[in-house]
Structure 1
Amino acid sequence: MRIQTIRKYFNLFILTLLFHTSIPAYAGKVVVAKGVSDIQDGKMAQAYKVALANAKRGAIEQAVGTIIESRTLVENFQMVSDQVFTSASGRLKSFQILEEGKTEDNLYQVTIQAEADVDGLIQQVDSFQKALKWQKKPRITVIIDDFSVEKDSISAEQVRNYLIDNLQDDKFPVYDLAPDTKLRGGFVIHLNVAKQQDESEYQGMKLTSNALAINARLTRADDQKILATASGAKTLPGASSSRSSRKAAKKIVKSIWQELRKELTQAWENEQYAARSMGLFIEDLESHQQAKDVVQAIKQTLAGVKSIELVSYDKGLAEFQLNYRGWPEQFVDELHSSVFSQRHFSSKVQRLAGNQLTIKIQ
């Protein structure tokens, strides 16, 4: 059968979700899916083969459709999804045919029950992303320690601004750490700034030198684990302390950022695929039953979620604890994927700080 014909009739491909069964991560996810194909020139065997392939593709889409959509850039979505779906049979632990045969519309239909290797599929999607140079930048917060602010708030804020400029030049999103900030850094860069001016005499001349030292510490926002450190110092002559410190700050910050950037990129690449514990809060729910329904919706559809439980519900606010394969931003993207929102609900982020996410159902 020609590729064009297969693609044409793949639009007839029907995905019917009969049920989802959440079972332990090592056992995969069990789904039921249907696939159809046109029957050309009475070739039933060929039609059966195509319908079965479409059913397998449907099973994969049900199992990890949100992952494929949420973790793929728009321009690369088709490339990644095609690669994953093409090797679908290799990621089905097992399948059995529930029903097959010719329909009244002269199509061949195959219904299967399949167990999908969710962990393996997620790893496969992630590997394609890496191969395609996919990288979504992590959120960064830059803060200055209290000692630096007390000693010289102007110089300290100057250093912070220079670092933010470097971050934004490299397309890293930067957020404040204020209590009312809806989005806060997934990583935090802590700065310590020390400035000193010394005067001396040489052959009757008065000499002034300005020393600036900057220490930086990169940590995760959720648990404050130190991932990297960098420091730099510079002494410049000049009677103008502010002018010399600005010049020194630019050079030191540039050097520090080049050093931290390598560690940050590596930490981001490693941790965005690791399983982590996350807290999810949903505001303005109508009932305790609605909170329970949220658990079932997430269990059934979000492939990255290994486990989720309702911790508490009180006056419309529900707290959930979940174990998620990936970074919090990826969980948000899965929630916002069309696969999830069309089946269950749309939501709006109220706050994302470290591994704590608060949303409101729309």
Structure 2
Amino acid sequence: MKKILLNKLLKNILISIIVSAVLLSCATTSKNTSSGVFVGEETGDIGVVNNWKNPDFKGGKTTKIIAEGFAGTDGRGEANAIERAIESAKRNAVEQAVGSIIHGVASVNNNKLLDSKIYENTTGYISSYKVLNITKNTSVWYSKIEAIVGVDMLQDNLQAMGILMDRKSMPLIVVLVIDEKGDLSESFNVQLEKNMGDKGFKFVSSSSLRKIMRDENINYSDSDSVKKIAQSTGAQVAIVGKAGASYFTTIQGTAMKSYRSDVAITAINISDYSTIARATHQAGGVGGSDKDAHSIALVKSADSISDDFISQIVNKWQSEVQNGTEYTIYVSGLNFDDSIDFEDALKKNIGNIKNVYNRGVAGDSSRYVIQYVGTSRNLAVDINAKAKNMGYQIIINGFDDKTITLKASKRE
């Protein structure tokens, strides 16, 4: 009899365990957030969704980041504290991704922008994450997650906010793409500027450009002309090339005309004529007149070429923000021995210098190529501020986007 009662008791206990497990797994939740933290209504137990995916993620290139977060317990309950700890880790993951794109943000205004535009909605930039660890120490919950963060989305928004451009000192761009007649390709240029302007790029206005070219009788057929235009407009970058369109055919049975565009453009640094980006494209355009078909073909090419062209420029500038830009420094007043010593002094005393290359000495003139994280202005300021530590008296004679000229002499 006792054996029968014991078996019955064990059976009832087993059934209770099974029912409890089913209820826990099937229970609706009293708290179910974007972090995947919940409290079971039937059991009151706290749980964590361990492999959360964002159904609203917009796609694009991503990066995997390990991040940690924490939150203190308070009157809102343990589940809320766990949720906030995970949210803290998510924010830290997005902050790491932003830091990898813009290599730190010096501006207070930029930090405010990041808080309001990005960090307050970190979930939108996370494709998915896994909870690697949740622990509690006294009254604080700690979380560790592996997050998949949308780099393309962040980069697009950083561009739109102008933060990446700010890190590059907001380069001003002049568009000098010409058509098949040798005139400015108006339809193409206007559309390209619009598409790039929507991403935060800044341009010399077409009216200012035409006035300068007319007043100073400048054409745009060679590098000297481009540099002269840039000097007059204040542009640091020029987009040059050809964007023309030619008659292709008349649509059979209609008066509609078809034109085909032929585009080849290059973005260049004005100071040294180095290439930032290149793109080519062909497109067909159909219109009721030759003028309309011509314009439509060019606009289609501008629309098609913009994303890749923008991506090349951004990737180039992002690399420079992260890894440094090459600047040429011309130094007068040094003999051969001093030029070697000056090279070493630069490496030891100037922060953010990645490499220094001595490009030769001629008389008392030396030339160095410096890979530096920052602008040429920042580099000039750094050299001037650290001159005493370097053991030199230094006079900065001038600088532009890519070069610095100075006079140096050994301190006695």
Which TM-score band applies after superposition, normalised by the shorter structure? Answer: 0.3 to 0.5
TM-score by length of 2: 0.40
TM normalised by structure 1 equals 0.45
The structure whose RCO (Cα within 8 Å, separation 6+) is larger is: 1
